[in-house]
Amino acid sequence: MLERFLSFIWEEHRGKTIGILIGLLAAVLFLSFGFWKTLFIIVCIVLGYIIGKRIDEDKNFEQWVRKIFRDS
């Protein structure tokens, strides 16, 4: 019964469910670590996502890193 209910919620209200879970996670992080530490965690997650996405898309990751960290 619970599995059927959760399946229905996931299929019919996926965006709302993800939004609620992200909001809950953000609240727990803010209460546990404070604003600046939570902001740092979020920035690290976003950077990890961007790097992972570039790797998944078979972009030239090494060239991208060199472009960012090239000697001026």
Where helices occur in the chain by DSSP H, the ranges are 2-12, 14-33, 35-56, 61-68
Q: What is the pLDDT of residue 59?
A: 66
Please state, for a pLDDT cut of 70, what percent of the chain lies above it.
92
60: DSSP letter = -
**For residue 34, is pLDDT > 90?**
yes
* Comparison of pLDDT for 19 and 52, the residue scoring more: 19
pLDDT: is 71 or 50 the higher one?
50
pLDDT at 27 over 90: yes
Q: Where are the domains of the chain?
A: 1-33, 34-72
Cα angle vertex 55, ends 17, 21, to 5°? Answer: 15
Q: Is a pLDDT exceeding 80 seen at residue 39?
A: yes
